[in-house]
Amino acid sequence: MRTVGCLVFDGVRAFDYAVINEVWAGSEFDLRVCGPVGARVRLGGGLELAPAHGLDGLLGCDLVVVPGVADPAAARPEPVLAALRAARARGVPVAGLCAGAFVLAEAGLLAGRTATTHWRLAAELAARHPTVTVDPEVLFTGDGEVWTSAGVAAGIDLCLHLVRAAHGQSAAAGIARSMVTAPFRAGGQAQFIPSPVPATQDRADPLAEARSAVLDALDKPWSVGELARIALMSERTFARRFTEAVGVPPLRWLLEQRVLAAQRLLEETELGVGQIAARCGFGTAVAFRAAFVKRVGVVPSDYRRTFGRQGRGELREVGRSGQ
């Protein structure tokens, strides 16, 4: 996935366009900003954009991304919808950020699929497009062919996920560092976290202390009880507060961190599968392979062959993200 098309038209959100540009405007990618021929696109807030390519610029793209839109109810130009359908007919993956899901649905690309959007718009998406199964809980979801994300920052998560699926964890982490954002949030993580800010700020965050302890020693067989003791809480209180703060339960977060660490070692070292399994806390190579396949979609050896030092190919991830 080297050539990425950003499809713009009147009413797209400037923030989502900027996210796409930040993620894929690097020298290793060919980002094509495509829109109706000869049109200056109004982004809202008085901003305008002159696309460098017409809609035919989507030809030859490996991925097409649609920014969110300010008005989900507005009708989109038929040539824009036709360009999206044509891209899918060529087998090109398509992604819609935030309310961009409404554009994909209007083009008929979400019929029979599961999709998400900003939680405030989920009911409207379901009502307007009853053939779409709307999941208002997740950050992003997709099946390898069509992807949608929740609102605002979740668009960053989806874009980084698409880079990670095609080019590996190190490539996505490098982009995340340049954007000063978290390198990884699972698609299945909750959109809305009730208590994102700790109640007290005048002492160390016990949840952060527990997470740091895990990341410093992923090889240990951590349990919720051990993490609760570090945080000086009961297991029940720790599990509840951790899920409220992070968006996923402690053991699911732990598994995600183990898999991420394993991806980095597969990409950057020549360690054997058994060694990686031990370093990342999977216990055995068999358990490591099972967890890795469930999360990433391929066995570790195939992942290394694609993203390791000897080659940087492409990998299409199949299956619902976050599972």
Say whether both 201 and 296 belong to one domain: yes
Q: Residue 188: inside a domain, yes or no?
A: no
pLDDT-derived band of residue 237, with 50, 70 and 90 as boundaries?
Answer: very high
Q: What pLDDT, in 10s, does the model give residues 8-65?
A: 999 999 999 999 999 998 878 999 999 998 778 998 778 999 999 999 999 999 999 9
CATH number at residue 154: 3.40.50.880
Say whether both 54 and 168 belong to one domain: yes
Per-range mean pLDDT, top range of 70-74, 178-182, 299-303, 313-317: 70-74
Q: Residue 279: inside a domain, yes or no?
A: yes
Q: Residue 108: inside a domain, yes or no?
A: yes
Say whether both 306 and 205 belong to one domain: yes
Q: What pLDDT, in 10s, does the model give residues 187-220?
A: 555 555 443 334 443 446 899 999 999 999 999 9
* DSSP per-residue string spanning 254-272: HHHHHHHHHHHHHHH----
97 neighbors 67 (Cβ within 8 angstroms): yes
Confidence at residue 122, expressed as pLDDT on a 0 to 100 scale: 94
CA distance linking residue 247 with residue 185, whole number of Å: 9
Say whether both 138 and 228 belong to one domain: no
What residues does 115 pair with on adjacent strands? Answer: 134
Q: Which residue has the tokens 């299956």?
A: 319
Question: Last residue of a domain, which of 148, 179, 210?
Answer: 179
- Average pLDDT of 67-82? 94
* DSSP per-residue string spanning 149-167: E-STHHHHHHHHHHHHHHH
CA distance linking residue 316 with residue 3, whole number of Å: 15
Say whether both 13 and 153 belong to one domain: yes
Q: Residue 51: inside a domain, yes or no?
A: yes
Say whether both 217 and 150 belong to one domain: no
Say whether both 234 and 88 belong to one domain: no
**Token pair of 216, please?**
């410093």
**Token pair of 281, please?**
């806390």
Confidence at residue 316, expressed as pLDDT on a 0 to 100 scale: 38
Say whether both 235 and 302 belong to one domain: yes
Number of domains in the chain: 2
CA distance linking residue 171 with residue 272, whole number of Å: 22
By residue range, what is the domain housing residue 252? 197-310
Confidence at residue 165, expressed as pLDDT on a 0 to 100 scale: 87
Between 318 and 137, the more confident residue is 137
Say whether both 94 and 39 belong to one domain: yes
Q: Residue 189: inside a domain, yes or no?
A: no
CA distance linking residue 305 with residue 168, whole number of Å: 11
Helix (H), strand (E) at residue 146:
strand 146-149
Say whether both 159 and 239 belong to one domain: no
CA distance linking residue 161 with residue 178, whole number of Å: 16
288 neighbors 273 (Cβ within 8 angstroms): yes
Question: Last residue of a domain, which of 151, 179, 207?
Answer: 179
Say whether both 131 and 228 belong to one domain: no
Do you know the residue count of the chain? 323
Half-sphere exposure of 140 (CA within 13 A, CB side): 30
Amino acid occupying residue 162: L
Say whether both 155 and 209 belong to one domain: no
